[in-house]
Structure 1
């Protein structure tokens, strides 16, 4: 497979008009990012000195994304390729293996951030799933201290690649860091006042970092793997938790089917509320310029409602 990817890459790069130099006539850093939080942090720090793009097509769920040869070509034209880590984007290895490392700097946004261990589903217990068997829960940006660390890793890469604009990047990064710190404080103050402390989610295990940071008990229908399906016994257990804890809301996640959450809601008379993990956004949201912070503010309002 790798030799075929390399052959296609060579052919595509040989096409007239596809040279890397022709992509940089405006003098801006060319940056390609994998997931939306990385994209938002990179465009905020880069400002008008960088041209930042999101590799994932809008609305596509990243756990099942498969890069195409043209995606590798696109990244090869960039100065920086920013991804989270090998656990979150296992498909990133195919992209990185096809890059000209003399031209493209690979930036691991989650470098230095330890992964918490997520639960293993009944279906995958004993197997080595891309997430569960190779390092735990990769949704690190949902702890806002981790989000700040990711932004700092991106800043470091910008400064190393374009030291002439160091002060500009640092100024933008400092503003972003302050906004993330303020967001964290709002979460702490708001959720501390909520009488309920159980967050029940009818999706895959994506909100463990957020729950731990704010003292919530987090229960998900599936494990870290987004493709896992809960067993009938697991669904029955979740219904019992809803009733025992007197929960009036069950959460569902963007880009994934709400079927499980809706089933739990029907069985318990509860309502369904969305919760944004932030991996990706819709085309309309991308065009409207939504930010990671605005998505998290939406989460805070829905958590405040659901935990009353």
Structure 2
């Protein structure tokens, strides 16, 4: 626990009680976009959550867009209420929700997650909002050349080809466009009693709802049959054959995209990190667990390989369709 002295003036002005609080960082995650802190009062009672954006990794317009959509979805009770924000300092202060990550939830929570996604996708669209495209530019697009030129990353070359092939085929199909979260990993879906809350809106933008539903199904670690039921919970009816086919295709695309995106999060030498990761057991998609003595980049590479190998296997089991 520690005091925070380097907050922007807006937060001190709008929430002066912060001066009496202590800040505890949440555990490391693969991403370097931001750090999150639990804000505790002197009594030890949680008071809020602080999200500090790494301003060297994002544009000012993206920070402003993320904070605006966080406030909007907080008002819709899809995410925590925003208490205060300082766009220039990259600081967002939100209400604390006593919750846990949504991993292997019971049937009622799965149905609640489907309801929350329906509510999110019904929010009035904003065609200009495209934070997920900004992330893709500094993610998959940025590593494309390195992957193609590195023999040590041959598996990623295979994954990149599968990703491009599948993305092209899905782009020709009929999706449903809406305002999407686009990064529904387990830590971004929180369960509090019988409610599901969404957090971390730095990938929000107009997209295909099947991508969100497929990502959530993977993050919740649903079996194939349970994932199909989840889709029908979301739709509120029996899925058509075309809808189920699109959902299955999106499920494969999710694995491939996360495999490639996670590789881009490695801050050091990617080839070295991938080689180091081979000394450890392959991870599990959507589960970031840093083993004792393991370097952070190696842990990120191991998670990346878990996504990649699962995505390649799923894609080719369907004949690359």
Instruction: Output the TM-score relative to the length of structure 2.
Output: 0.35
TM-score computed with the length of structure 1 as normaliser: 0.36
